[in-house]
Chain A
Amino acid sequence: MPSYSVRINDRTHQIEGQPDDSLLSVLRYELDLTGSKFGCGEGACGACTVLVDNQATRSCVTRLAAVAGKSVTTIEGLAGTPLHPVQDAFLEAEAFQCGYCTPGMVMATVGLLRTNPEPSDADIARLLDRNVCRCGTYPRIVRAVKLAAERMRKTDTVGAKVEVRR
């Protein structure tokens, strides 16, 4: 079986697999990184969203061969303690119900804020539109994204970690 070198959460892994194995199945089955969720397997719900070279990517429709030599960040690699500002914002806005979409939403938001640090409501709706929250917490997620954006901008200008109330 071919072997692929992939950097996952800042560690290089040699992964044996077929070129068209999905990145999601590698994460979940080979590495037991189950924070990225299986929702549809069609790239249509976003529950499996991870960052590939800092870009939000649907891991269920991403081939293993396509991430060879690249850097993958999953929800497990996002932060430890303290949490990432996006995670804190989701907690503060209570931007979830069942939570199944949450890791994908968080990763999609992190990706979004990397390219657009000050998104409008319309930007958020457009850029997160491929992520589904079937419980319907969209208004809260929009609030969480804006809250996180505001805090991350502050961190950037002050150059210091912003204290986040939890």
Chain B
Amino acid sequence: MTRSSDSEVDIEIERYELTEAPRYTFEVDRRDFMRIFGAMGGGLLVFASMPGAAQESGRTGQQTVSSDVSAWVHVDERGHITGYTGKTEIGQNIRTSLTQAIADELRVTIDRVSLVMADTDLVPFDQGTFGSQSTPRMAPQLARAAAAAREMLLDRAAAQWNVERSTLAVKDGRIVGPGHSAGYGEITKGQKLAGAVPAGASPSRIADWMVRGTPQKKVDGVAFVTGRHRYTPDITRPGMLYGVVIRPDGYAGTLGSLDDGAARAMAGVTVVRDGTFAGVVAPTDRLARKAASSVKAEWRVSADLPSSQTVYDHLKKTATTGGGRGGAPTVAGDVSAARAAAAWTFDASYRIPYIAHVPLEPRSAVAEWSEGKVTVWTGTQRPFGVRTELADAFRIPETQVRVIVPDTGSAYGGKHTGEFAVEAARLAKAAGKPVKLVWTRVEEFRFGYFRPAGVIDVKTGVDADGRITAWEFDNWNSGPSAIQTPYDIPNRRIQFHQSESPLRQGSYRGLAATAKHYVREMHMDAIARALGVDAVEFRLKHLKDERMRNVLTAAAQKIGWPKASSTNRALGIACGTEKGSYVATAAELSPAGKAFKIERLVVSFECGAIVNPDGLTNQVEGSIVQGLGGALFEAIEFAEGRLLNGSMAQYRVPRFKDIPPIEVVLLNRKDLPSAGAGETPIVCVAPAIGSAARNFGTVATELPVKLV
């Protein structure tokens, strides 16, 4: 766990999503300034470092900035402002919200600002775009750099005009003072100014925000509604060829024999073999697919692989106790004694299936080699991580690898790895020409990765006053994070058990929190029902955190808790916190045969000070819709090394007809720093629906929510 010094927010990052990228020290000396100026033209360049990192201040470019530079801002000779960040735009709309931060500090409208994102040759190192970190950590970095740039422009103008600096002000992108007015471009013209954000400098107070805090449209929205934006699969390079990788029919298999004679006989086709890797390259996509399908490969698949039915036993059976990722339990008080002394005890075991991200843009890459250096365009959340993967795969220095991430057709935690980039680069190297590789939808399902499946056992004890005194929570495989309970319970034992996962698994929107919140909130609901007490009152009785209490109360009020809108309908509710933000979701259901229909969803959300209210509402709505999939029908089915529903037609994702009215209540806490919002709203959808469904019958302990 790390503590972010600027946001006071604890962030847990799933251990398996960090592949230990080598420590990277970004050093910028005068030559680098000159190189960057060479690329950008003259003007003013300001570097920002993560708080706590060693920094040097200065304004003339004489010093060496050698620290964890995290972002920089450039003001060119025409007064146009460009921010540089390693974050990626994957639909969460940070291109807009980060632009707001820069524009705000430099007192310009957002059309005066552009962002260069996720091009490893142009931007500072960044660990990746995950964990809802862009808003709490990257936005303040860019804001500090922009604020420092503003101050340097003031200094410069005062010197040029030989006036007191205090007589000058910044307005609409100009420096103005008695008898003087000049645009930023005029002040930086013909100059090459560089500097770092002074230690201790902070961006504007939230109360002084002008551009942040106001609704802003997606900055380049027109490029998307016209189809002009080029995602990775849309990129072409001169002389580019098309690649296809030879793969097994199932999700698993090691290559046995391979007969590529027919493919080799095809004019224009290159067959690439390297160890267990096999692929083909051809001048057209059509020919590449024809050649690939002509390859006869035998794959060895081990016997007795778990299925989606047996996986839960498998996860428990293969668990490692102690050591490894499992580690020791978190213990408080004496849970056994508390259980023994309890007036009531409750035990339950829940099962969480694997689910798929299904980003609409498939994993893809375009790779091009030139003089030993490879450039790869690819949709990934970790451009620098993929750069390392490429450098390792080809045994070349990272300076010989450039990764460029075009704004990407979504990821949801599913694009942390770069195997498709490595595959495209391997094919391009063999072919001696640029190669495009676009995974098919079937490849996406079989060879991407899933949200982990898991088993979660919960055992509790409640005293005669209806207060929970004991909380035991054992989680097999569904991720170690988000495992602690926000409820005030004196005796606890909470443990993550690492298991062997038969399917490839990794990060997902909200990480492990979707599973944990489902179980925790369904169990809270079960206890409240058994005790015959109100589910909201029962939670409030165990909640000290004022922010959590506020979102829960807001959602309950909005949906009309505890009364449904008509007698045959029923309500359910759940609350949670993750990544420094807070959510409560309430559902109203009606019975529909042996199942139920969702009539209405209410979600209240609080993530500190709101940067872009409309963008935030959009993210909250989107999270709720994605949460509906896992709550209602998403689950990967598999047996004998094959996926049984690994296609778009078979794997059901939410569509128009599945969407009930969704009402979003945003709580704006201008007294608190902004936290990220792309993930947390997803976590309470399933338990809100599940707890409402309990009014119609017994709800299965396995997701998706269904009546048994």
Contact = CB atoms under 8 A, between A and B. Distances in A.
B286 A37 contact: no
Interface string B468-492: 0000000000000000000000000
Nearest to B628: A136
Dominant SS among interface residues on chain A: loop
B227 A34 contact: yes
A57 interface: no
A139 B661 CA distance: 8
Contact of B226 (A29, A32, A75, A96): A75
Contact of B438 (A32, A38, A97, A102): A38
Interface string B80-91: 000000000011
Contacts of B229: 99
A106 interface: yes
Given A45-B360, A91-B225, A99 B409 contact: yes
Contact of B409 (A100, A124, A138, A140): A100
B655 interface: yes
A40 B659 contact: no
A87 interface: yes
Interface in B599-633: 614-615, 618-619, 621-626
A106 B225 contact: yes
Given A45-B648, A128-B656, A139-B659, A97 B93 contact: yes
A31 B223 CA distance: 19
B225 A25 contact: no
A128 B655 CA distance: 9
Given A34-B227, A47-B360, A140-B618, A39 B441 contact: yes
B359 interface: yes
A76 B360 CA distance: 20
Contacts of A94: 217-218, 221, 614-615, 618
A101 interface: yes
A75 B621 contact: no
Contacts of B225: 83, 87, 90-91, 96, 99, 102-103, 106
A137 B90 CA distance: 14
Contact of B217 (A74, A91, A129, A136): A91
Contacts of A106: 225
Contacts of A39: 360-362, 441, 648
A135 B622 contact: yes
Nearest to B411: A98
Nearest to B224: A99
Given A90-B225, A98-B91, A139 B621 contact: yes
A18 interface: yes
Contact of B361 (A41, A100, A132): A100
Given A94-B618, A99-B223, A103-B227, 13 more contacts: A25-B286, A35-B228, A37-B233, A37-B360, A47-B360, A94-B615, A96-B224, A99-B407, A100-B359, A135-B625, A136-B624, A138-B655, A138-B659
A152 interface: no
B33 interface: no
A132 B655 CA distance: 6
Interface string A1-40: 0000000000000000110010001001100101111111
Contacts of A135: 91, 410, 622, 625-626
Interface in B391-418: 407-410, 412
Interface string B639-651: 0000000011100
Contact of B621 (A44, A134, A140): A140
Interface string A65-90: 00000000011101000010001001
Contacts of A132: 360, 648, 653, 655
A16 to B, nearest CB: 11
A78 B441 CA distance: 28
Interface of B: 90-93, 217-218, 221-231, 233-234, 236, 284-286, 358-362, 407-410, 412, 438, 440-441, 614-615, 618-619, 621-626, 647-649, 653-657, 659, 661-662
A134 B359 contact: yes
Given A21-B286, A76-B227, A98 B236 contact: no
Interface residues of A, number: 55
Interface of A: 17-18, 21, 25, 28-29, 32, 34-42, 44-45, 47, 74-76, 78, 83, 87, 90-91, 94, 96-103, 106, 124-126, 128-142
Of A76, A124, A138, which is in contact with the most chain B CB atoms at under 10 Å from its CB? Answer: A138
A129 B621 contact: no
B657 A35 contact: no
Contact of A40 (B230, B233, B648): B648
Contacts of B230: 34
A103 B649 CA distance: 21
A125 to B, nearest CB: 4
A84 to B, nearest CB: 9
30 contacts: A21-B286, A25-B286, A32-B236, A34-B230, A38-B438, A39-B360, A42-B647, A42-B649, A44-B647, A47-B360, A83-B222, A87-B225, A90-B225, A96-B218, A96-B221, A96-B224, A97-B92, A97-B410, A98-B90, A98-B361, A99-B225, A100-B91, A102-B227, A103-B225, A126-B657, A131-B656, A135-B91, A136-B626, A138-B655, A140-B618
Given A42-B441, A137-B618, A129 B655 contact: yes
Contacts of B410: 97-98, 100, 134-135
Q: Which 8 A-B pairs have the closest CB atoms?
A: A35-B227, A136-B625, A98-B91, A100-B409, A99-B224, A34-B234, A75-B227, A40-B648
A134 B653 contact: yes
A68 B234 CA distance: 25
A137 to B, nearest CB: 6
B626 A134 contact: yes
Contacts of B409: 37, 98-100
Nearest to A21: B286
Among A38, A42, A78, A141, residue most surrounded by chain B Cβ atoms (within 10 Å): A38
A42 to B, nearest CB: 5
Contact of A97 (B223, B284, B618, B655): B618
Contacts of A99: 91, 218, 223-225, 229, 407, 409
Contacts of B227: 34-36, 74-76, 102-103
Contacts of A47: 360
B642 to A, nearest CB: 18
